[in-house]
Amino acid sequence: MVKTNEKVAFLDWVITHSIFTRREAYWLLTYLKDHPTILENVKFVEKADKTPRGMTIIQSSQPDNCFSLVLNKKTITDHEKIFHEIRLNWKETLYVEVIFDKSWENDLYLSVLEDNPFDAWNKQLSQQLEQLIETSVKEITDFANEKQLLEQIDRALDAGDQKTFRALTQQLQKQKIKEKSQIDDNQ
């Protein structure tokens, strides 16, 4: 769970470093920042429009596209209605998405970003990407296992333990054969 003071720090940064075409965006962000009880129920997510109560604020050059609130699949763009919805239903979770340039390079943004329970990021992975990830994890695991075996072989050599040395060497050879077989199967 993200602490309220982290959310305040992020909103301070957004208010001072972002340029929104409508001043109402600043008002909404400042209102959230200045009301910790409301801010406790705010979750910063991506794709807030997929949530039952999600507000999106965009650093944009288009005035009509600066902010919106999706409330049970109905989009509201009137700042007064958005303000009243936030103020009157302050106990309800509000999912907020702030879109600005290079957001993934901003430590404050990353510190407050939470998973969107209505649109999980891992549901968006393509099958090809999932397979690539699985292959990479397997390669890393195989490499770690091989490194561990080599360290054990070195210790057996240092200790003059021929029996352990032979057993570990055979295990390493079997692992190499298995890896080569899997590579050939994938090609």
Sign of CA pseudo-dihedral 39, 41, 45, 50: negative
Q: What integer pLDDT is reported at residue 81 of this predicted model? A: 94
Q: What integer pLDDT is reported at residue 34 of this predicted model? A: 96
Q: What integer pLDDT is reported at residue 70 of this predicted model? A: 94
Counting the structural domains of the chain, the total is: 2
Listed residues 62, 97, 119: the one ending a domain = 119
Rounded Cα gap, residues 56 and 51, in angstroms: 11
Rounded Cα gap, residues 113 and 97, in angstroms: 9
Q: What integer pLDDT is reported at residue 88 of this predicted model? A: 95
Domain assignment of residue 111, given as a range: 4-119
In this structure, the answer to whether residues 38 and 112 fall within a common structural domain is: yes
Q: What integer pLDDT is reported at residue 22 of this predicted model? A: 85
In this structure, the answer to whether residues 71 and 141 fall within a common structural domain is: no
What predicted TM-score, i.e. pTM, was given to this entire model?
0.65
Left if phi > 0, otherwise alpha if psi is -120 to 50, otherwise beta: which for 32? alpha
Residue 85's φ and ψ, nearest 5 degrees, are: -65, -45
In this structure, the answer to whether residues 41 and 115 fall within a common structural domain is: yes
Q: What integer pLDDT is reported at residue 124 of this predicted model? A: 62
Q: What integer pLDDT is reported at residue 186 of this predicted model? A: 65
In this structure, the answer to whether residues 71 and 136 fall within a common structural domain is: no
Q: What integer pLDDT is reported at residue 67 of this predicted model? A: 86
Tokens matching residue 181: 């077989």
Which residues, given as ranges, of the chain have pLDDT below 50? none
Listed residues 119, 139, 169: the one ending a domain = 119
- CA-CA distances (angstroms) from residue 131 to 83, 137, 142? 45, 10, 16
In this structure, the answer to whether residues 92 and 138 fall within a common structural domain is: no
